[in-house]
Amino acid sequence: MAETIRVIIAGPRGNMGKEAVLLVNRTPTLELVAAVDSRNEGKELREVEGMPDESARVYTDMERCLQDVEADVLIDLTNPEAGKVHMDLALDYNVRPVVGTTGFTEEDVKRLRKKAEDKELGAIIAPNFAVGAVLMMKFSQMAAKYFEDVEIIEKHHDRKLDAPSGTAIKTAQLISEVREEKKQGHPDEKEEWEGARGAGMEGMHIHSIRLPGLVAHQEVMFGSSGQTLTIKHDSINRESFMPGVKLAVETAMKLDTLVYGLENIME
């Protein structure tokens, strides 16, 4: 039988954290040893409203949690500020971080990869854990070899803090690996209203839509003479991310470096 992986979850009451708690709760090879929340210090998780029957203790201070608890993996699903601090602390305490929290810059990833490698610890930052979203990004990278004009349209619920989404940034990064920089649109194009053409990366455009009712959706739209190609993915609930979270937790145990993007660990 596979050995049990001891897990801490940061952000257990959030949209994603709640699903991650349920994932660990129903997976016999994973054990929840603590949760780090912005409140509920000292409670057992099961005493917190909406949480399943888990006796893991809740901490409001990540460092104290890491000092008190023997853990293998930290799953972080909080916000960019907290996520960065938590990831650093996890590596300090030899706990492997699996981070779904978005808002990490390329510099953050570089610095944290060096730290993980110095400590010979596995670490994963995955802007999107949904297998379909990873395929959408990979298919977009394939299409970008043949279409140099591309617009990325990402749509999320209106509680989202960061824009563009981590997925949109990762998509643009993957496309930029195969696409020459190109200014798109008319050479004399002018934004009459600031922001009308979205954010930019190497001439690509990224548009961020925020509306109640949405979960997480992205379209990558390519165009060339006489044709367009749209590659689209929709997450209609947060359960869609959980197989990817499980894969990342299991894989982090076997790595000794930081991997950025689930596509790098999917077979």
Ligand X SMILES: O=C(O)C1=N[C@H](C(=O)O)C[C@H](O)C1
Ligand Y SMILES: NC(=O)C1=CN([C@@H]2O[C@H](COP(=O)(O)OP(=O)(O)OC[C@H]3O[C@@H](n4cnc5c(N)ncnc54)[C@H](O)[C@@H]3O)[C@@H](O)[C@H]2O)C=CC1
Question: Which of the choices ligand Y, ligand X, none does residue 156 contact, using the CB cut-off of 5 to 8 A by kind?
Answer: ligand X
Binds ligand X (CB under 6 A): choice among 78, 167, 171, 251: 167
Stretch that binds ligand X, among 54-62, 161-169, 178-186, 190-198 (CB under 6 A): 161-169
196 is in an annotated binding site: no
80 is in an annotated binding site: no
Say whether residue 102 binds ligand X (CB under 6 A). Answer: yes
Residue 34 CB: number of other CB atoms within 10 A?
24
Rounded to a whole number of angstroms, the minimum distance from the CB of residue 70 to ligand Y is 20
CA 235 vs CA 154, 181, 215, 216, 240: distances in Å = 12, 30, 6, 5, 6
Within the chain, how many helices (H) and strands (E) appear? Answer: 7, 12
154 vs 128: CA distance, rounded Å: 13
Instruction: Check if the beta carbon of residue 45 is closer than 8 Å to that of residue 21.
Output: yes
Is 84 a known active-site residue? no
Rounded to a whole number of angstroms, the minimum distance from the CB of residue 14 to ligand X is 10
Rounded to a whole number of angstroms, the minimum distance from the CB of residue 253 to ligand Y is 19
| 3-state class percentages of the chain: helix first, strand second, coil last, to nearest 5 | 35, 25, 40
Question: Which of the choices ligand Y, ligand X, none does residue 11 contact, using the CB cut-off of 5 to 8 A by kind?
Answer: ligand Y
86, 155, 156, 207: the active-site residue: 156
Stretch that binds ligand X, among 48-56, 164-172, 184-192, 200-208 (CB under 6 A): 164-172
Residue closer to ligand Y by CB (options 46, 183) is 46
232 vs 220: CA distance, rounded Å: 6
Binds ligand X (CB under 6 A): choice among 86, 156, 233, 246: 156
Cα dihedral across residues 124, 208, 130, 60: positive or negative:
positive
Say whether residue 155 binds ligand X (CB under 6 A). Answer: no
Residues engaged in binding ligand Y (CB under 6 A): 10-11, 13-17, 36-38, 77-79, 82, 100-102, 126-129, 159, 166, 241
Is 160 a known active-site residue? yes
Rounded to a whole number of angstroms, the minimum distance from the CB of residue 160 to ligand X is 4
Rounded to a whole number of angstroms, the minimum distance from the CB of residue 218 to ligand Y is 12
179 is in an annotated binding site: no
42 vs 39: CA distance, rounded Å: 9
Parallel, antiparallel or unpaired: strands 204-210 and 149-156:
parallel
Distance of CA 35 to the CA centre of its chain: 19
Peptide bond into 164 cis (omega under 30): yes
CA-wise closest residue to 124 among 174, 74, 89 = 74
Residues with a catalytic annotation lie at: 156, 160
The annotation places the binding site for (S)-2,3,4,5-tetrahydrodipicolinate at 157, 166-167
Binding-site residues sit at: 11-16, 39, 100-102, 126-129, 157, 166-167
Residues near ligand X, by CB under 6 A = 102, 127-128, 156, 160, 165-167, 216
